Amino acid sequence: MTTRNHLTSAQIDHYRSGLASAEQAAHIEAHLKNCPQCQQELQFGQQLSQLLAPLPQLAARLPRRSSRSVRWPRVFAAGMATASLALAVFISVPHLAGNIAGSNGAYPGGFDSQSLSPQVADAVQNIEFYQWLSNHPQMLQQGLQNGNPA
């Protein structure tokens, strides 16, 4: 029943909770009279039980969470907002694309290709290459190492 002449934590907890038989309880009490280490463990368990005793009452005071029901007005409003935004984008994108690809090379905002600096005009004309290059920075570094600026 003892390990190295000491009670195990399980034995002490069994005794403290009143689940030990009369024979086991008598043996544990006899051991506790002569063993300060096991007495400390018993006291620690008692203190811990006292400190944790209010938790069930505190948990009972907490408000119960009700199951979340779907709030149809909010779902409907979110769906309508999403549909409105999609419709606005669907209508405005072709209009914007027409402005970008105008017949005289004009860009939105009142700029035309003649008034742009050569660097900006090159960037606009080769935007797909610069986008690819931004996704592949190692290619830029290789070009710079070889003396070939992008």
What is the number of domains present in the chain? 2
Backbone phi, psi, residue 111, to 5°: -90, 145
Whole-structure pTM value: 0.38
Domain that holds residue 119: 112-150
Does residue 87 fall inside a structural domain?
no
Over residues 94-148, the pLDDT tens digits come to 666 555 555 454 544 455 555 667 777 777 777 777 777 677 777 666 666 665 5
Does residue 130 fall inside a structural domain?
yes
Does residue 132 fall inside a structural domain?
yes
